[in-house]
Amino acid sequence: MDKQKNPNGIPPSEMLWVTYKATNGDIYYTTSKVNNRDYYYLYKFVDGKAVKLGKSRNPTELEEKYIRNSS
């Protein structure tokens, strides 16, 4: 797998897994630590930077809490 650069605001110690574009146009990213997938992190792209919204052992919980409820 080619190493790609994370969006501004996401640490290089995290791997980007999923990019979401909500129906309202907001962009979200799901990440985890590169060598450890015990926790997933959700970021929202705001003003040119990814801002961390939450952390969970289950990425679907983050999606339901922050993405589905905001669209």
- What pLDDT, in 10s, does the model give residues 11-35? 999 999 999 998 889 999 999 999 9
The pLDDT of residue 2 is above 60: no
Name the strand (E) or helix (H) holding 50. strand 49-56
**Are the CB atoms for 8 and 44 separated by under 8 Å?**
no
**Are the CB atoms for 3 and 13 separated by under 8 Å?**
no
d(Cα 47, Cα 58) in Å, to the nearest integer?
27
> Pairing between strand 36-46 and 27-33?
antiparallel
The pLDDT of residue 41 is above 60: yes
d(Cα 17, Cα 15) in Å, to the nearest integer?
6
Q: What is the mean pLDDT of the segment spanning 49-60?
A: 96
